[in-house]
Amino acid sequence: MYKRLKCKSAPNIVLMLAFTLFSVIGLSAQKPTENKPLVLVVYADWCPLCQKLKPALALINEKYSGRIRFVRLDVTSEETTAKSKQRAQSLGLEQFFDKYHDTTSLVIIQDASGHEVFRALHDYDFQHYAKVLDQLLRTEQAKQALQGPMQKRRDQPQV
């Protein structure tokens, strides 16, 4: 009835737990209105390529926690697929979900305004994702730094 998980090393267990924890948090705690970059993953437990992607996703969650939105669209079963479809609808990603729900291990990165800036299929290299996310976050910081002085000027009374 129960299957015993076989892991080759303790770090694999830690990565699996971290990925699972952050995926659950990502699906329930993030607000769709947050003005942060979005990492969107189509995932299934039965997908061996998704299993290879887990360490990179765990590192993304660890390094960028609180600075990005992370959404895992889990298509492992009919139940998780239905929940993921609802989540996609709540984020305005229903068309994306309908088109790509069967493309497991797909990772999309959107900027804070919702424009897709990166797409990868079966890419297990954390550095590819980190490069894009670091650039996005630097760009967002620069925008905020410019908006601060602009906002102050608008708030000052005209003479």
Any domain includes 158: no
Q: Is there a domain that residue 155 lies in?
A: no
CATH number for position 132: 3.40.30.10
Residue 4 belongs to a domain: no
User: Along the 159 residues of the chain, how does pLDDT read in single tens digits?
Assistant: 333 444 444 454 444 444 444 444 343 334 445 689 999 999 999 999 999 999 999 999 999 999 999 999 999 999 999 999 999 999 999 999 999 999 999 999 999 999 999 999 999 999 999 999 999 999 888 887 887 665 555 555 555
For position 95, what pLDDT does the model report? Answer: 94
Range of the domain at 83: 10-150
Whether 21 maps to a domain, the answer reads yes
Structure confidence at residue 154 (pLDDT): 55
Give CA–CA dist 134/157, Å, rounded: 37
The number of beta carbons lying within 10 Å of the beta carbon of residue 6 is 6
The answer to whether residue 159 sits within a structural domain is: no
d(CA 90, CA 69): 14
Q: pLDDT value at position 155?
A: 55
Domain assignment present for residue 117? The answer is: yes
Q: What is the pLDDT of residue 144?
A: 79
35, 104 in Cβ contact below 8 A? no
The predicted structure's pLDDT at residue 143 = 81
The number of distinct structural domains making up the chain is: 1
DSSP the chain: -PPPP--SSHHHHHHHHHHHHHHHHHHHT--TT--S-EEEEEE-TT-HHHHHHHHHHHHHHHHHTTTSEEEEEE-SSHHHHHHHHHHHHHTT-HHHHHHHTT-TTEEEEE-TTS-EEEEEES---HHHHHHHHHHHHHHHHHHHHHHHHHHHHHHSPP-
Residues contacting 142, CB < 8 A, separation 6+: none
- How many Cβ atoms sit within 10 Å of the Cβ of residue 79? 9
